[in-house]
């Protein structure tokens, strides 16, 4: 392949459409045989003859199928040289395939850029049918003229002959004058005397001088061609016996030079006796050799024409300028189902080119008959005898005599397989495109799934690591209270008799607090595990937030009062929301519990709520110990261990906040804390109000 081209022509879309609309083969190539452009006719014929698909990566001289055209290689080299020398020309080419010769006319047009031929465009037109028809015309032209002349002379001669016979009956002298002035020979047979008279012209037709040949029936019969003598004898006897009105026969007769000559022998019984037996018969002998030779040539040419058209794989028919069909080859009958009797001398448009719902349809052949143009139709429909429509493509060319259009010849072929192949190809391409899109879509899905799988695996690994750490923390937090309970219980068990009431009260209080911590931890752990396993369903409905807050205040009022903490809410008007009531209750209850744990005596805890745009914001604010930035950053994280102790040295696990975060996110909300060490904390969460009823 050539890596760089000086000029690479690009066809405009409209120009390509025009090229594809013609049945001529059009292509262009540069000096290295790289294909610049081509139309669909060239592509289909190229692939048909070479049995190879056109490949954009190949030059035209690199296809193996070109070996079939070696007989044209020398001629092609000359065309190549002339075209790239800047010469524009037209030449002919013949190619034999399957015993049939195809004829093409090729036009070479060099395209010059900067004084150099950059590429050559070739247009090829198949002229096989045109060539065959022109040859047939050449053979039959002279025969047609001779026949016309003979037919014109024949009428005059017959008239003169009949007049001469009538004059013979009336006046011998006048009849003799007619004989001498006519080219026909005259004979008069007297059957009673068996005497035959032959005129001078009769002998001259056979090449004899007057009287040189014996005038009798046997001599006459002896010179008739053996293949004709029985037929001639029967025709004469039938007339003599009264079976026919006249004797009229064409036959071959031997001349003096031993050559056969065609004659027309005509006669009529002039006199019969009372018993209706013939007494005298007279007639004429005309030389029709030239006419017979012309007819023979015409028949031979018609036979050749029929033989040529009978082997064509295309239907062929000829019509006159009145649309009447004059000839149709066997393939016409095979494709359309009409016999000769169905179509001979009938209007072809009314038979094969009628269309449903189109009574005023103009037949394309009208353009040929009227304007004399060669017509090429790539797709049309002919009506078959059975009523079906046959898809065809055809070429029609005018027939001219002395510059006058006398008819047209049309060659057509069935394109059903082509249309079916095009439909199948279109379906195949569509299926390929669909499969391609499906594969691409699946590939994209596989990529996405793989990416999601990798992300899920990463999250799962992180989550497993976090849970491992979380369970380690939980196990440690569970162990500490149990250690205290077991330790205090063991002391009480061993020293119960020696312990004072104050000691027993202190030990019992410690055991109670440790048990309470374990209970809270286990409750939160149970709730969290139910969330993780999906045991807790998200069940939103409308309810009054004030009622939930009031229930929580009542639950923690004793505990808060014991620690001298003011627990209250500023909610006054009913606040109806659409959410999961159990989860909202759990969130607020955990946050209030945490606030009580980290608020000193004399402090206060306030529960409030407000609507901010499309969100509900709930705040649990306390005046407790607050927290540092380090502690704030560890909250709500399962893999972080918060070690801050409450005002009564209680130790928390952070599991309650993790549970709060899970429930808030179920509502598509978020939770956070605002706090300053020593100044209290504000735990806030928001949930969308988009589903509020």
How far from 451 is each of 189, 206, 447, 454, CA to CA, in Å?
119, 110, 6, 5
Model pLDDT, residue 150: 47
Is 257 in contact with 290 (CB distance < 8 Å)?
Answer: no
Bridge partners for 319 per DSSP: 325, 408
Would the pTM count as exceeding 0.75?
Answer: no
DSSP 8-state code for residue 66: G
Total residues belonging to the chain? 693
**Angle made by CA atoms 172, 173, 174, in degrees to the nearest 5:** 95
**In this structure, are residues 348 and 323 in contact, taking their beta carbons and an 8 Å threshold?**
yes
Per-residue confidence (pLDDT) for residue 65, from 0 to 100 = 82
Which sign, positive or negative, has the C-alpha torsion 501, 503, 509, 514?
negative
CB 229 within 8 A of CB 260: no
CA dist 638 and 524 (Å) reads 13
H helix runs in 496-646, sequence order: 501-532, 545-562, 581-597, 629-634
* Distance, CA of 287 to CA of 297 (rounded, Å): 18
Six token digits for residue 142: 């002279």
Contact, 666 vs 580, CB < 8 A? yes
Q: What share of the chain is helix, strand, coil (3-state, %, to 5)?
A: 50, 25, 25
* Ordered alpha helix ranges (H), 188-244: 200-206, 217-222, 229-240
The structure tokens 């005002």 sit at 647
Q: What is the pLDDT of residue 358?
A: 45
As a whole number of angstroms, the distance between CA 182 and CA 200 comes to 10
Specify the DSSP class assigned to residue 361: P
Contact present, 293 and 203 (Cβ < 8 Å) = no
Q: What is the pLDDT of residues 234-255, one digit of tens each?
A: 999 999 999 999 999 999 999 9
Of 383, 363, 364, 389, which Cα lies nearest the Cα of 374?
A: 364
Backbone phi, then psi, for 458, in 5-degree steps? -65, -45
Residues 376, 381, 384, 390, CA torsion sign: positive
C-alpha R_g of the chain: 59
Q: How many CA atoms lie within 13 A of 394 on its CB side?
A: 24
DSSP assignment of 23-42: SSEEEEE-TT--EEEE-HHH
pLDDT at 294: 84
- At 592-642, the pLDDT tens digits run 988 988 899 999 999 999 988 888 899 999 999 888 888 888 887 766 656
Q: Which residues pair with 105 in a beta bridge?
A: 92, 125
The stretches in the chain having pLDDT less than 50 are 1-7, 146, 150, 161, 164-165, 167-174, 357-359, 693
Task: Determine the Cα angle at 186 with ends 180 and 188, to 5°.
Answer: 130
Nearest to 265 by CA among 146, 185, 366, 150: 185
pLDDT score at 252? 95
């Amino acid at each position: 392949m050539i890596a760089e081209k000086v000029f690479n022509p690009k066809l405009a879309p409209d120009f390509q459409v025009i090229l594809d609309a013609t049945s001529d083969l059009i292509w262009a190539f540069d000096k290295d045989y790289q294909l610049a452009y081509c139309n669909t006719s060239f592509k289909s014929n190229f692939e048909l003859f070479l049995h190879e698909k056109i490949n954009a990566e190949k030059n035209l001289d690199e296809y193996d199928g070109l070996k079939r055209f070696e007989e044209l290689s020398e001629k092609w080299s000359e065309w190549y040289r002339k075209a790239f020398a800047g010469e524009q020309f037209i030449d002919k080419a013949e190619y034999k395939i399957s015993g049939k010769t195809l004829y093409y006319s090729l036009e070479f047009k060099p395209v010059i850029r900067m004084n150099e031929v950059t590429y050559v465009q070739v247009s090829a037109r198949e002229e096989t049918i045109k060539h065959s028809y022109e040859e047939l015309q050449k053979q039959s032209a002279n025969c047609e003229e001779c026949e016309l002349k003979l037919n014109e002379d024949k009428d005059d001669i017959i008239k003169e002959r009949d007049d001469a016979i009538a004059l013979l009956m009336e006046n011998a002298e006048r009849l003799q004058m007619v004989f001498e002035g006519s080219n026909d020979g005259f004979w008069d047979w007297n059957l009673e005397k068996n005497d035959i008279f032959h005129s001078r012209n009769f002998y001259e037709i056979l090449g004899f001088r007057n009287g040189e040949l014996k005038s009798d029936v046997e001599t006459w019969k002896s010179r008739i061609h053996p293949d004709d003598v029985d037929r001639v004898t029967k025709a004469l006897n039938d007339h003599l016996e009264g079976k026919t009105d006249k004797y009229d026969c064409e036959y071959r007769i031997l001349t003096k030079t031993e050559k056969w000559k065609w004659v027309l022998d005509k006669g009529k019984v002039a006199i019969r006796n009372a018993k209706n037996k013939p007494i005298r018969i007279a007639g004429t002998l005309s030389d029709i050799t030239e006419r017979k030779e012309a007819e023979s040539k015409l028949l031979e040419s018609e036979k050749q024409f029929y033989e040529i058209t009978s082997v064509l794989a295309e239907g062929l028919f000829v019509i006159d300028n009145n649309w009447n069909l004059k000839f149709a080859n066997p393939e016409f009958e095979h494709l359309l189902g009409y016999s000769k009797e169905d179509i001979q001398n009938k209007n072809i448009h009314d038979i094969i080119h009628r269309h449903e719902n189109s009574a005023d349809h103009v037949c394309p052949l009208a353009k040929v008959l009227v304007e004399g143009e060669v017509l090429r139709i790539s797709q049309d429909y002919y009506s078959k005898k059975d009523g079906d429509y046959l898809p065809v493509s055809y070429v029609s060319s005018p027939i001219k005599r002395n510059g006058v259009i006398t008819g047209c010849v049309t060659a057509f072929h069935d394109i059903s397989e082509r249309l079916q192949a095009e439909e199948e190809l279109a379906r195949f391409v569509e299926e390929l495109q669909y499969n391609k899109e499906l594969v691409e879509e699946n590939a994209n899905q596989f990529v996405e799934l793989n990416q999601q799988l990798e992300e899920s695996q990463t999250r799962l690994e992180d989550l497993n690591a976090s849970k491992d750490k979380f369970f380690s923390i939980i196990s440690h937090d569970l162990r500490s209270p149990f250690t205290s309970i077991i330790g205090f219980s063991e002391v009480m068990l061993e020293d119960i008799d020696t312990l004072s009431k104050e000691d027993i009260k202190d030990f019992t209080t410690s055991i109670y607090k440790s048990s309470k911590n374990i209970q809270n931890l286990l409750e939160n752990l149970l709730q969290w595990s139910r969330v993780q396993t999906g045991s807790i369903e998200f069940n939103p409905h409308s309810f009054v937030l004030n009622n939930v807050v009031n229930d929580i205040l009542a639950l923690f009022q004793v505990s808060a009062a014991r620690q001298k903490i003011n627990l209250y809410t500023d909610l006054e008007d009913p606040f109806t929301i659409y959410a999961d009531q159990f989860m909202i209750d759990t969130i607020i209850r955990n946050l209030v519990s945490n606030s009580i744990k980290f608020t000193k005596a004399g402090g206060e805890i306030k529960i409030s709520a407000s609507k901010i745009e499309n969100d509900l914001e709930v705040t649990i604010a306390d005046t407790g110990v607050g927290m540092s930035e380090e502690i704030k950053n560890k909250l709500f994280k399962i893999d972080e261990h918060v070690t801050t102790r409450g005002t009564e040295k209680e130790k928390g696990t952070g599991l309650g906040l993790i549970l709060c975060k899970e429930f808030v996110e179920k509502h598509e909300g978020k939770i956070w804390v605002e706090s300053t060490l020593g100044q209290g904390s504000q735990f806030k969460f928001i949930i969308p109000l988009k589903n509020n009823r």
